[in-house]
Homo-oligomer: A and B are copies of this chain.
């Protein structure tokens, strides 16, 4: 692994766990096992390093989900695939939601403006929903509201993990069990909401 990669990986973890303000350049260097000056050698400044990582991470939010989703015919199936794929992604990067949300709330939305697949979201997701509603295949719910609800339900456990853990008396196993069963449960909710 090259020094640059070491730095990137270390910075990634530090920023994800502690946020921009909470992260120290020295901590990144220590974690990467290299000299602090290397950080500035490869990435100009703390801001630049953070920016690079954030840009890379935000692209993860909507990865190949698009393609997976497009394969499915019915809208309900599309949503189900979305929930599955999204859950897998978040399991791989549990801090991603917190990271993105704190960042976008602190700094302006200039950061993710280019990378949010708004077009896909509006022209494809929303459009295909309108279509099935007018065909009477699904119930007439507000597409935007529905989308934010699915996102909220999917993301919440990853954001509120400490609180949820506390509710289940700190029992990790129960928490994992809960997370595992969540995908099926959410798919059920979606069917209840959308099936006419």
Contacts and interface: CB of A to CB of B under 8 A. Distances in A.
Interface of A: 18-19, 21-22, 98, 101-102, 104-106, 108-109, 112-113, 116, 118, 121-122, 139, 141-142, 144-146, 148-149, 151-157, 159-168, 178, 181-182, 185-186, 188-189, 192-193
Given A151-B156, A188-B141, A189-B193, A166 B19 contact: no
Given A105-B162, A116-B166, A145-B178, 19 more contacts: A19-B106, A21-B22, A22-B106, A104-B162, A108-B162, A109-B163, A112-B166, A116-B167, A139-B192, A141-B188, A144-B168, A151-B156, A151-B160, A152-B152, A152-B154, A156-B156, A189-B189, A189-B193, A192-B192
Contacts of A148: 153, 156-157, 160, 164
A163 B116 contact: yes
Contact of A167 (B118, B149, B163): B118
Nearest to A174: B144
B166 A113 contact: yes
Q: Taking chain A's interface residues, is the majority helix, strand, or loop, or is none over half, making it mixed?
A: helix
Contacts of A186: 145, 149
Nearest to A159: B101
Nearest to A104: B162
B167 A121 contact: yes
Nearest to A58: B163
A171 B120 CA distance: 19
Contacts of A106: 18-19, 22
A152 to B, nearest CB: 3
A193 B146 CA distance: 13
B153 A149 contact: yes
**Residue from A113, A122, A142, A148 with most neighbouring chain B CB atoms (10 Å):** A148
Contact of A144 (B141, B166, B178, B193): B178
Contact of A152 (B139, B156, B193): B156
